[in-house]
Structure 1
Amino acid sequence: MLKESFLRYLRYEKNYSEKTIVAYGTDLSMFEAYFKAADETLDFTTVDTDVIRGWMLSLMDEGNASSSVNRKLSSLRSFYRYLLREKVVSVDPASKVRAPKKKKPLPVFVKDADMNRLLDEDPGDGFESVRDKAVIATFYETGIRRAELIGLKDGDVDLSVCQMKVTGKRNKQRIIPFGDDLKEMLQAYLSARNRCCPKECEAFFVRKDGKQMYPGLVYLLVKQNLSRVVTLKKKSPHVLRHSFATTMLNHQAGLESVKELLGHESLATTEIYTHTTFEELKKVYEQAHPRA
C-alpha cells in the first residue's frame, strides 16, 4: 500500500510522466524483493541503512553501472522523504547512504562551422527536406528537447515576435526567443506544410499526412543530416541541445541565462557545459602556444 500511495503522489501531485512513475515502481519492487529474500519479517518501514547499503553493493556486484545504482538510490530517497512527510516513518534510512561516484562524460556537441555548413545548404522544395532543415535549426537555435519539439502547436510559435512557448518536464512552460534566420526557415516550412497538408494540423511539426511526428522519426532525421557534416559517434537531437548550450557559452552568454533557456532546474546541471568550453579552450591553447 505504501508503494502504491507514493506512486499516486508522483502521478497526481508531482505530475511526473508515466515512464518515470513506472521506473520508480520498478526500483521499489526490486528493493522489496531484495530485503524480503534476506528477512521475511522486514517491510519498508523497518529496513535500516545497512539493508539499503547491502542492496547498493549487491547491484554493483551484479555489474550495474554506477549511474543505474544512483538512480535506484534516488528512487529510495524520494520514497522515504515521502514517508517522512506522511509521518509513516520517523527516520529516513536512505539519507546516510553515500551514492557511488560516477564519471561524468563531457557533452558531445557539433562545432559552429559544421552546423553552418549544414544549415546554409539549400534544402530544395520537397516538404520533408524543408521540414527536416527547420527541425534541425530549431534544435540548434533554441536548445529545446525532442519531446518539447514534438509537442509544439501552431499557437506556441509566434513568428511576429520571434519566440516560442515550450512545455518542458513536469508541464513547466518557458518562452524562448529566436532569430531571423530561424524565422525564415519556419516560414518556409509552414509554406511547404500548407501546400502538402492544406487541412488543419494537430501539431506544428508534422509528417506528410499532417499527423504529429514521433520520437524515432525525429531521431532518424537528425542522425541522417548530422552524418553529412560530422563523424561523431552520437548524432541525436540531444547533441544539438548540447551544441546550443556550448555555442551560447562560447559566445559569452551568462550561465544563468543558458539555464533558463534550457529549462534546467539546477544551475549545477548547466555547469557541465562550462567544462566543455574549457576543453575547447585547452585545445586552442595547445595548438597555438609554442610551449604548450
Structure 2
Amino acid sequence: MNIAIVIAQFNRYIRYEKRMSSHTLLAYSEDISSWYNYITAQYGLETMEEVQLLHLRSWLIMLLNEQQLQPASVKRKISSLNSFFKYALRQEIITKNPARLLQVPKVPVRLPQYLEAGQAAALADAVAKEEEVGSWKERTDQLILDLLYQTGIRRSELLGLRHMDIDWQKKEIRVLGKRNKERIVPIGDSLLESIRNYINFKSPELCNSGEKLLTLKTGRPVSTTYVYRVVHKYLSAVTTLKKRSPHILRHTFATQLLNNGADLSAIQKLLGHESLAATQVYTHINIEKLKDIYRQTHPRSSE
C-alpha cells in the first residue's frame, strides 16, 4: 500500500480514535512526515512493503548528524515510528514492524525544578507590582498562577477549564487530562473565592456554563502563549531557575505535597499520572533535600 495513504490513515487514527493531546498529535505527525519526505527523496520508496530497518536508521542518523538531537528527542522520534508501524501491522498492511528493532537511547532522569515555599508565596506580590490592582489583566494573571500552583494542573488542562467544571458545593474542579481522561481536583476556599470574584468581574455573556473560564478582555479564551508568557514573567521576579514554564508550578505543587506528608498514590491521582513511576521522581527531590540538610547541619557530614 502507498506510504502516503497509510500516513493519512494513521493521522486520522491518532486524532479521532487514539485521542492524543494536540501537542503529541503534532509531534507524531511532524515526525512521520519528516521521515516520509526523507525516504522518498533518498530512496524513492512508495509502498509500505519496500520499507526496511535501514530506511529508519538512515533517517535517524541524518537527524543526529544535522540537528545533534538529545537522547529524549531521539526516543520520541523512535516512539513515533514505532506507533506508525504498529498501526500498519494491526491493519495488516505489513507483516512485521521494522521499528521494533531500533535501539532506544537511555534518557537521563532529570529532577524536576520547583519553587521554594517562600518564592511561591511571593508570586501574588509580583503580579500586584506589575499590573494595576483590580484590572482585567491583573485578575486574569493572578488566577492563572493560583490555579496552576494550587491544583497542579497542566497548562492544557488550565486552558480547557469551563464554568461548568467548577463544583461550588463540593469545592472541586473537573479536569480533562491527557487522552481525554477526566479527574476531580479539590480546591481550597481561597482559590474558590478567587474564581468567584473573577467570574463576577466578567461580563454575563462570558459566563455561560460551556464558556471557557479564563478569557481576555475581548472575550476570547486565553492562549497557550499567553499562559506561558504570564508564568515566565512572574517566575522571573521570584526565582533564578533557568526554566520558567507552567510545569514548574506543577512540580512545586507536587513537591510541597510530598514535603508535607502526602503519600505518592494521592499525589499521583491529583496530578493525573497514569503510573506511579511518573510520580516517584518527586521522591528523589525529597532525598536530595534531606542530603542538603544533613550536609549543612551534621558536624561530621564533611568528613
Task: Give the TM-score normalised by structure 1.
Answer: 0.88
Cα distance in 1 for partners of 2:257, 2:177 equals 20
Cα distance in 2 for partners of 1:22, 1:236 equals 20
Partner of residue 263, structure 2: 254
Q: CA deviation at 1:199?
A: 3.3
Partner of residue 123, structure 2: 118
- Which one of 206, 210, 235 corresponds to residue 200 of structure 1? 206
Partner of residue 10, structure 1: 14
Amino acid corresponding to residue 213 of structure 2 in structure 1: F
Partner of residue 62, structure 2: 58
Does residue 106 of structure 1 match 2:103? no
Contact 1:32 1:44 in 2 (8 A): no
Partner of residue 243, structure 1: 252
Amino acid corresponding to residue 172 of structure 1 in structure 2: K
- Change in CA separation of 1:60 and 1:186 when aligned onto 2, cut-off 3 Å: same
Amino acid corresponding to residue 199 of structure 1 in structure 2: E
Which region of structure 1 is more displaced relative to structure 2, 281-290 or 44-53?
A: 44-53
Identity between Structure 1 and Structure 2 (%) = 40
List per-residue Cα deviations over 1:181-227 (Å, max 9, x = no partner): 22232233233x24xx2433432122223331112222222222223
Structure 2 gap ranges (5+): none
- Change in CA separation of 1:214 and 1:260 when aligned onto 2, cut-off 3 Å: same
Which region of structure 1 is more displaced relative to structure 2, 30-39 or 108-117?
A: 30-39
In the alignment of these two chains, the number of paired residues is 289
Cα distance in 1 for partners of 2:63, 2:278 equals 26
- Change in CA separation of 1:254 and 1:122 when aligned onto 2, cut-off 3 Å: same
Contact 1:7 1:25 in 2 (8 A): yes
Amino acid corresponding to residue 227 of structure 1 in structure 2: S
Contact 1:53 1:97 in 2 (8 A): yes
Cα distance in 1 for partners of 2:45, 2:167 equals 60
Partner of residue 186, structure 1: 195
Does residue 24 of structure 1 match 2:28? yes
Amino acid corresponding to residue 155 of structure 1 in structure 2: M
Which region of structure 1 is more displaced relative to structure 2, 251-260 or 119-128?
A: 119-128
Q: CA deviation at 1:267?
A: 2.4
Q: What SS does the aligned partner of 1:53 have? A: helix
Contact 2:255 2:285 in 1 (8 A): yes
Does residue 46 of structure 1 match 2:50? yes
Q: RMSD between aligned alpha carbons? A: 2.4
- Which one of 259, 264, 271 corresponds to residue 280 of structure 2? 271
Q: What SS does the aligned partner of 1:227 have? A: helix
Q: What SS does the aligned partner of 1:6 have? A: helix
- Change in CA separation of 1:24 and 1:256 when aligned onto 2, cut-off 3 Å: same
Contact 2:268 2:276 in 1 (8 A): yes
- Which one of 81, 84, 93 corresponds to residue 79 of structure 1? 84
Partner of residue 129, structure 1: 138
Q: CA deviation at 1:40?
A: 3.6
Structure 1 segments, 4+ long, off by >6 Å, are none
Partner of residue 214, structure 1: 223
Structure 1 gap ranges (5+): none
Task: Give the TM-score normalised by structure 2.
Answer: 0.85
Which region of structure 1 is more displaced relative to structure 2, 230-239 or 16-25?
A: 16-25
